[in-house]
A and B are shown apart, each in its own frame.
Chain A
Amino acid sequence: MTATWAATRFDGRSGAGEIVAVAIDGGVLRLASRQRVERYRLAELRIAESFEHAPTMVVLPGGATLEIRDPERTLGAALAVAGLRPSLVVRLQRNWAAALACLVVLVGLLAWGYVNGLPLLARAVTSVIPADVERRMGESVLEVLDARSLKPSGLPLARSQAIARAFAAAAARSAPGVAVRLEFRAGPANAFALPGGAIVLFDGLVKTAESDDEVLGALGHELGHVVHRHSTRQFVQVLGVAAVASLLWGDFSSVAANAPLLMGAFRYGREFEREADEYAIAFMRDNGMPVEALDSLFARLEKERGAGLLPDFATTHPSTAERRERVRDASRGGSPTR
Chain B
Amino acid sequence: MAAREDSRHGEGAGGGDDAGPDHGRWQPPAGERPRVRGAFDELEPGPLRDELAGAKSASQPLAAPDPAEPPARLARLQFTGEGAEYFRIWVVNTLLTLATLGVYSAWAKVRKTRYFWQNTRLEGYAFDFHGRPKAVLIGRVIALALLAGYSLAFEFSSRAGLAMIAVLCVVGPWLFARAQRFKLANTSWRGLRFGFSGGTAEAYRIALPPMAIWFSGTVAAVVADRRAALATLAGVVAVALVPWMHHRLKAWQHARATYGDRNFAFLPATAGFYRVYFVAGALLLGAGVGVALAGVVAFGALLGAVFGRGESAAAAGVGFLVSLALFLVAALAAWPYFAARLQAIVWSHTRAGDVRFATAIAPWPLGKLVAKNVLLTLATAGLYWPFASVALARYRIECMRAESDEPLVALAESTLRGTQDASGDAAADAFGVDIGL
Contacts and interface: CB of A to CB of B under 8 A. Distances in A.
B412 interface: yes
A35 B39 contact: yes
Interface string A100-114: 101101100110010
Contacts of B382: 248-249, 252
Contacts of B37: 34
B19 interface: yes
Contact of B20 (A17, A71, A89, A132): A71
A100 B168 CA distance: 43
Contacts of A54: 80, 115, 118-119, 126
B110 to A, nearest CB: 10
Nearest to B98: A109
Given A19-B34, A67-B191, A113-B98, A255 B327 contact: yes
A100 B90 CA distance: 11
Contact of B310 (A20, A67, A109, A308): A308
A190 interface: yes
Nearest to A73: B22
B87 interface: yes
B119 A51 contact: yes
A150 B307 contact: yes
Contact of A63 (B31, B118, B421): B421
Interface in A61-105: 62-65, 67, 69, 71-72, 89, 92-96, 99-100, 102-103, 105
Interface residues of A, number: 86
A34 B307 contact: no
Interface string B328-355: 1001000000000000000000000000
A244 interface: yes
A57 B118 contact: yes
Given A13-B416, A19-B34, A256-B378, A51 B23 contact: no
Range of interface residues on B (Cβ < 8 Å): 35 or more
A156 interface: no
Contacts of B189: 15
Contacts of B162: none
A8 B87 CA distance: 30
A316 B331 CA distance: 36
B285 interface: no
Nearest to B44: A4
A126 B77 CA distance: 50
Given A19-B52, A93-B88, A247 B94 contact: yes
A201 to B, nearest CB: 13
Interface in A289-309: 305-309
Contact of B422 (A18, A63, A255): A63
Sort A-B residue pairs by CB-CB distance and give the 4 closest, nearest first.
A10-B191, A15-B412, A63-B422, A12-B422
Interface of A: 1, 4, 6, 8, 10-21, 23, 32-37, 48-55, 57, 62-65, 67, 69, 71-72, 89, 92-96, 99-100, 102-103, 105-106, 109-110, 113, 130, 132-133, 136-137, 148-150, 187-188, 190, 202, 244, 247-253, 255-256, 259, 263, 266, 305-310
7 contacts: A13-B422, A14-B260, A14-B414, A51-B119, A57-B128, A306-B309, A309-B302
